[in-house]
Structure 1
Amino acid sequence: MRQVEALLRADPTVEKVVRRTGDYGLDISRAGSNCTLYLDNLFADTRELPPEQRVQLIQRYLRALWQEPPDSLPWEQARELLLPVLRASTFSMSLHPQPEPDRELVGRRTLPFLRELLVMDLTESAMFVQRRHLEKWGVTEDEAFDAAHANLARLPDEGVELYDEEHGPLWSVETRDTYETSRLLRPGFLASFAGRVEGRPIAILPERSMLLIGGDARPEMVARLTESAEREYAAASRCLTPAMYTVDDAGRVVPYRHPGQDALANRVRLAHVRLALEEYSAQKESLDARHQAQDVDIFVASYSATARKRDELPISWCVWPPDTDALLPETDLVAVHPSKDSEEFFMVPWAEVQRIAGGCFTPVPELWPPRHRTTGQPSPEMLAQLRAAKVSFEDVTLP
């Protein structure tokens, strides 16, 4: 923080620098305008660098702050700079739990617990596109995404190279343009590795600039990629997902599920559950803070998970509390409490809860990851059917 402060104060255009109370950041006044600089990611990016390189990266980061904002460019120029990027579904929620509508990031839901966002690829950094920028340019969201994908298609693939052939060919995407993982958004990119790998192409993208692609023909390759994704996701300062992805029959990128019920299949499944745990937890924290600030009484149910004792199958579950305005995550099982006067509860598969008591809750379209808001209590007849459909962790069968 002292180093960033010193560099800022050495800039004659900076009028004031104040440390934020309770946050790892600085409030800056420059050329008549104010901004806040949070230092968490900058510290993570520079902590292992030699002193000279560290100063250079900090200076580059600060120059990026003073770049011309994207809404100052006309659409004819802006469209040539747009690119799509993958981010976690709750990206930016911690800093901006409820931004002004015109300052929402432009994005769409691409894969479970991930979002595709738009950035402007500027000289010093990438700046996220907000809805106010689209209004300024006079274009629709679809037009902006079409332009971004046209630019993505033109990015060169130099750096897509064979990494090694241990347990089969393994390819690495090291284009060094910070858009390595964006290549998965290019139609047919992952599918094009069929024939270059053994089996179906499978990809990991544990952090934003890392993309490895192998094949699922050999269990050893699947295990290797699973381990790499777990390790890199845990270590990354800008983590993305610990899960694996493949393509369906139409060539679309989809979550990878290893066939069978063995330990490897359960480990692959666990990575998807871990991503859900991280994202639902971040979402709950943000929603709880928002509701507290607005004095709104809504129970945001936790997404929980456990590994079954007999085979280590990861199973997710949530609690449906009685007579409570609640937001429920989508889980494998739901713990149903019949009434506040009883401590009884029983587990029911999510699909059965929807089939029997689907009229008691409704999806909340604006929330991602998805949640359902309770709108009523199950009738005695519904409770009887739910009780008849109950399962235990040890005997449940998951799709």
Structure 2
Amino acid sequence: MFEWIKKRFVREQAEDLTTEFVRTLIAECRRQGLVVQSFDPSARSFVAALQDGSQVTAFIDNTFTEWQARLPSRREELVARFVRSLVEARSHGTLSLESLADELMPGIRSRVLVSELMLRDWIGGGPADDSRVTASLPFAADLVVCAIRDRPDSMSLLKVDELAAAEMPLDRALRQAMVNFRARMPQPVFEPLGQGLFGCANLGDYQSSLLLLAPGEDYALPPLDGAPVAAVPGRNVFYVAGSNDPAGLVRLLEISASAAETPHFCTASLLQWNGERWGGATLANAALEARHRDIRQQRLVADYDRQKQLLDHYHQLHGQDVFVASLQLYRAKDEPVSFSVTTLASGTHGTLLPRADRLALVWQVIDPGTGLAASKPGDVLHVTWPDAMTIVGGLFAPVPHLYPPRFRALGFPDRDAWARLEAMAR
């Protein structure tokens, strides 16, 4: 059962199996009566026509990653179930309290995932608001708790409008989901993985939901040195070590650094049990905490990059000229921790900025004859994000619904505000 956990610590040269996987997937779709109409390599998605004439867009990243990790003898069943899930997920029928009660299960998911699904819905023609967003509540770090409809071959995150149609508030759905989870959950089994690290994988797709239970009360933890610290890189796996065990924490950080490679990604952040609930971990060892922060910073940059791609796609579809700024990481000489920077130039309006540690303000020199900015900027000012918000916070409006958060620039600091910011920077 745990061989695949151990396997992730053995870094082997991986072959590019994408072509083989796609061919296998298309053949299985054909076998089950689906017609693949198009494949988008950049989005790693395909559109298939079902037998009832409807269409479904499916993304292959998670299934492909899981397929790669499986033994060849077990790949066929994974692909077959994935295709069956596409058909099953389309046959929702009428949702009601009665039909959902036995299907509900709780899920821990990335808040970034919820935001990305919303943006994909916008791109697909949905309303540009949160009326069809996944129903969720904040949990810890960058995670949320969701209500899941669990069926034989598919799991679907229930949306706000779906729960409304079933006349079921989210808190009620989550209570019923926890009842089902407790009744169906086997006792977690932790296997030692060496150097103070333990892994648990026997809860299948609900491994991350172990965070909703109390260790020592709902289940037994292995012997740990200190408070439990967990890494939950994906929904199918749970790692734990003790807060006073440097070797175990190093292993957890190794897992966090490669969390994005895990199928069904959850978080690169470590979590710690405080006796009452799981929360974002702050490691007592300064060097290890610096590494933890650096991993989270790198993950944040990747999250903003993916968000930018989706927003650019949406704006292009709707003919909107909106600049979506990026987030960059820098590291001062001899400093162990990087810091994030985003840039705003004068003469622009409506730029969507990521939340950064520091804001670079560029006062552009505009050619009065052409109206274009000179190749070299005029003044450049670097300030911390809190300082910028204190002095010119009114120029930045939070963009609703997005995570990680973005702010729309409504203007640029005038000369008086610039002087105040410059004094603050000094």
**Letter of the 1:84 counterpart:** P
2:70 counterpart of 1:57: no
**Letter of the 2:97 counterpart:** W
2:361 counterpart of 1:327: no
Give the Cα–Cα distance (whole angstroms) in 1 for the partners of residues 237 and 268 of structure 2: 12
Q: Displacement, 1:276? A: 1.0
Give the Cα–Cα distance (whole angstroms) in 1 for the partners of residues 413 and 405 of structure 2: 21
2:417 to 368, 378, 382: 382
What is the TM-score normalised by the length of structure 2? 0.79
Match of 1:245 in 2: 271
Give the Cα–Cα distance (whole angstroms) in 1 for the partners of residues 324 and 26 of structure 2: 39
The aligned runs of 1:109-188 (5 Å cut-off) are 109-161=138-190, 163=192, 166-167=195-196, 170-186=197-213, 188=214
Q: Deviations over 1:274-317 (max 9, x none)?
A: 22112111111111111122222222221211222212211111
**Gap regions ≥5 residues in structure 1:** 392-399
Query: Aligned pairs, how many?
Result: 383
**Gap regions ≥5 residues in structure 2:** 1-21, 367-376
Q: Displacement, 1:347? A: 1.7
Give the Cα–Cα distance (whole angstroms) in 2 for the partners of residues 19 and 225 of structure 1: 40
Q: Displacement, 1:196? A: 4.8
Q: Which moved more, 1:206-215 or 1:35-44?
A: 35-44
The aligned runs of 1:13-24 (5 Å cut-off) are 14=33, 16-20=35-39, 24=45
Match of 2:408 in 1: 373
How many percent of aligned residue pairs carry the same amino acid?
A: 24
Match of 1:396 in 2: none
What is the TM-score normalised by the length of structure 1? 0.84
Give the Cα–Cα distance (whole angstroms) in 1 for the partners of residues 106 and 345 of structure 2: 40
Contact 1:184 1:190 in 2 (8 A): no
Contact 1:181 1:210 in 2 (8 A): yes
Match of 1:395 in 2: none
Q: Displacement, 1:72? A: 3.1
Question: Is the partner of 2:199 in helix, strand or coil?
Answer: strand
Q: Deviations over 1:167-213 (max 9, x none)?
A: 4xx44332233111122134x44998899532232111122212112
Give the Cα–Cα distance (whole angstroms) in 2 for the partners of residues 323 and 368 of structure 1: 27
1:203 to 218, 230, 254: 230
Q: Displacement, 1:154? A: 4.0
Question: Is the partner of 1:72 in helix, strand or coil?
Answer: coil
The aligned runs of 1:33-72 (5 Å cut-off) are 33-47=54-68, 49=70, 52-67=73-88, 69-72=91-94
Give the Cα–Cα distance (whole angstroms) in 2 for the partners of residues 85 and 236 of structure 1: 17
Q: Displacement, 1:374? A: 1.8
Q: Displacement, 1:330? A: 1.5
Q: Which moved more, 1:268-277 or 1:290-299?
A: 290-299
CA RMSD of aligned residues (A): 3.0
Match of 2:261 in 1: 235
Contact 1:71 1:133 in 2 (8 A): no
User: Aligned pair in 2 of structure 1 residues 306, 357: CA closer, same or farther (>3 Å)?
Assistant: same
The aligned runs of 1:71-90 (5 Å cut-off) are 71-90=93-112
